[in-house]
Amino acid sequence: MGKADFLTPKAIANRIKAKGLQKLRWYCQMCQKQCRDENGFKCHCMSESHHRQLLLASENPNQFLSYFSDEFKTDFLELLRRRFGTKRVHNNIVYNEYISHREHVHMNATQWETLTDFTKWLGREGFCKVDEAPKGWYVQYIDRDPETIRRQEELERKKKQDLDDEERSAKFIEEQVRRGREGREPTEEPVFTELQRKSEDEKVAFNLEIAAAGPSKPSTTLGPSALKTTASVKRKESSLSGEFKDKKKKSALDEIIEMEEQKKKSVRSDNWIQENIVVKVVTKKLGEKYYKKKAIIRELQGKYTAVVKMVDSGDKLKLDQSHVETVIPAPGKRVLILNGQYRGTEAILEGINEHKFSATLTLDSGRMKGKTVEGIAYEDFSKLA
């Protein structure tokens, strides 16, 4: 029976079947050929081209095995790094997403027989942190990129400085409280005694001083401790009344705005790339031609990918967010805030604090235009193109 024509229903159905994923047991890794059924795989194994590939592999089988194993390991780790980052995830979830690509390297052509063996090997070699749970094996990628390690060290150093400042302020407050307690005069506690009389016939008399009729006048003979107590009570009352007045002045709209600002302060986004900002290429995978060179982001493709144009050569590249870093201009230049409360706001760089890895910015857009903000980290803003 002849082969079906190109536009016949049978030929169209065959092409639709061949387009999707097929069963892995009917795939030949050496010939990179996918068969649809057992009969087709049997015919392929009997073909001359398949035997020719087997003869080539038999000359140096270890070379082919190591090549396929290295390809499988590289693609698997790249998917784990790009898709899940350093999160702990089930190994079967990563594997199912990996094999959804039709041209992937099959595990039966590698040195590992099962996914569990491959997961254990990743843990032994130090590529991932692996642990076994009741639901199976979990993997966590270990990012050993020098730039990522440097940024993590900067963040840890910044957190340590903040903790040191908080501890210093807490010790200062404790010292002030201790000094206040030491300077306070001790108050005499009243002593209570039993009512006693010498004989049964003796009358008990109480001396009660009745004030004269009319408006009573406060006594002016107060001791130093009483004056201190009165002054402190007055200060507390005035502060409480002031706080009450401030709360009373705030309307519902002001409270909503304040709550929104607090939410913005607490929420940070993991993607920071924006269009029309200047960045610096920090990956060496593209060669020395582009390493440490400046570029301008022209287009965003998703949350973490962007099309950039090199400033020197004018070449266009498609880079990941982890391949670039922010650029800090000279004071007085315009920048764009990329993360935090004022994300997306244009500002002017006023100064740089090299010890705290932060800068002082003056907002130049939005409803808070003209406001000066301190302590903006280097990675949270970049030069405008």
pLDDT at 249 over 60: no
The pLDDT, as a whole number, for residue 13 is 74
Is the full-model pTM beyond 0.75?
Answer: no
pLDDT at 266 over 60: no
121-125, 178-182, 220-224, 348-352, range with the lowest pLDDT: 220-224
The pLDDT, as a whole number, for residue 280 is 94
pLDDT at 225 over 80: no
Confidence band for 227, pLDDT divided at 50, 70 and 90: very low
pLDDT at 290 over 60: yes
The pLDDT, as a whole number, for residue 236 is 53
Mean pLDDT, rounded, for 288-294: 89
Distance CA 95, CA 118 (A): 11
Confidence band for 341, pLDDT divided at 50, 70 and 90: confident
Which single residue is written with the structure tokens 């593209």? 286
Q: Is 136 left (phi over 0), alpha (psi -120 to 50) or beta?
A: left
Could you read off the pLDDT of 13-24 as tens digits, one per residue? 766 665 655 666
More confidently predicted of 92 and 168: 92
Both ends of the chain: CA-CA distance in Å? Answer: 66
The pLDDT, as a whole number, for residue 240 is 53
pLDDT at 385 over 80: yes
More confidently predicted of 222 and 355: 355
